[in-house]
């Protein structure tokens, strides 16, 4: 059975308006997908993680401690999904090795160690389970030529090469709570392991379904 790894930005799952319909629709989609795929989901920290990181930074906590706050929040967010989806793990794995060995139709986790975002956890897991696809489900429709949350004239890219992304964003991790489309350490793994990677809007479940089922979707294909 093919494995698919999906990295869900925390802001896709947890936003200011409580959207239970989204969770119901996501559960429905996952139930369909497990007939054909083994699914791994990594959940991000979103705005909640950034609030803790901001507070900790003002209190002069070191970067590692700030990352740890982020990791803890990603795991709380992951717990929403593990409770919702019966066919998933109960305990949140603390490493990709642990996740890889879980014998469930859907495996859900959050962050692992300081120094990267959950994108890197997704890429690492995708490499370990030889996933046929790695999907970055974020809060915009894909990769843009500039930040679409800041610039109205930002243009969505239908595809971009991994070399170009590395050229634009580098392969280093910056600081806790850094908000970029894909973090540098994740780019490095995608390149090394040649993982077919797609970036799309995680709120738009139809596009997620199409990307998984090899249909045309609205998003960005990363050329590897």
- Tokens at residue 65, please? 């401690």
CB of 151 to ligand UTP, least distance (A): 19
CB neighbour class for 222 (10 Å; exposed up to 12, middle 13-18, buried from 19): buried
Residue 177 is a binding residue for ligand UTP (CB under 6 A): yes
DSSP percent split of the chain into helix, strand, coil, nearest 5: 40, 15, 40
CB of 55 to ligand UTP, least distance (A): 13
Distances from the Cα of 103 to the Cα of 22, 70, 99, 100, 107, angstroms: 26, 27, 9, 8, 8
Among 38, 75, 116, 203, binds ligand UTP (CB under 6 A): 116
Nearest to 22 by CA among 206, 218, 203, 210: 203
Give the one residue of 54, 100, 128, 178 binding ligand UTP; rule: CB under 6 A: 178
Closest residue to bound ligand UTP by CB: 70
117, 197, 201, 220: which one binds ligand UTP (CB under 6 A): 117
Residue bearing tokens 């990677």: 197
Could you give the angle at which helices 63-84 and 20-33 cross, rounded to 10 degrees?
A: 70
Q: Judged by CB under 6 A, does residue 174 bind ligand UTP?
A: no
Q: Does 93 participate in binding ligand UTP (rule CB under 6 A)?
A: no
Give CA–CA dist 114/111, Å, rounded.
8
Distance CA 196, CA 157 (A): 16
Please report how close the Cβ of residue 20 comes to ligand UTP at its closest, in angstroms. 19
- Please, which residue, 2 or 149, has the CB nearer to ligand UTP? 149
Minimum distance, C-beta of residue 94 to ligand UTP, in the bound complex (Å): 10
Q: Specify whether the CB–CB gap between 104 and 87 falls below 8 A.
A: yes
- Interacting positions 4-23 with ligand UTP (CB under 6 A): 9-11
Residue closer to ligand UTP by CB (options 34, 205) is: 205
Window 185-224: residues binding ligand UTP (CB under 6 A) = none
- Per CB under 6 A, residues contacting ligand UTP are 9-11, 44-46, 49, 67, 70-71, 74, 111-118, 121, 176-179
């Amino acid at each position: 059975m093919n494995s698919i790894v999906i990295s869900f930005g925390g802001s896709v799952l947890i936003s200011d308006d409580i959207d239970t319909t989204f969770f119901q629709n996501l559960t429905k989609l996952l139930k369909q997908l497990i007939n054909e795929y083994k699914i791994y989901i990594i959940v991000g920290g979103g705005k909640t993680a950034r609030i803790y990181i901001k507070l900790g930074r003002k209190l002069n906590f070191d970067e590692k401690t700030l990352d740890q706050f982020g990791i803890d929040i990603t795991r709380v967010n992951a717990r929403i999904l593990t409770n919702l989806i019966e066919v998933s793990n109960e305990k949140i794995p603390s490493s990709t090795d642990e996740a890889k060995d879980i014998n469930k139709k859907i495996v859900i986790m959050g962050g692992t160690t300081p120094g990267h975002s959950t994108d890197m956890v997704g890429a690492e897991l995708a490499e370990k389970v030889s996933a046929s696809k790695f999907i970055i489900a974020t809060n915009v429709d894909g990769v843009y030529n500039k930040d679409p949350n800041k610039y109205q004239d930002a243009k969505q890219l239908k595809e971009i090469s991994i070399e170009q992304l590395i050229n634009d964003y580098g392969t280093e991790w910056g600081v806790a709570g850094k908000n970029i489309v894909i973090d540098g350490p994740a780019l490095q793994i995608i390149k090394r392991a040649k993982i077919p990677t797609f970036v799309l809007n995680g709120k738009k479940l139809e596009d997620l379904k199409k990307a998984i089922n090899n249909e045309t979707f609205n998003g960005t294909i990363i050329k590897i």
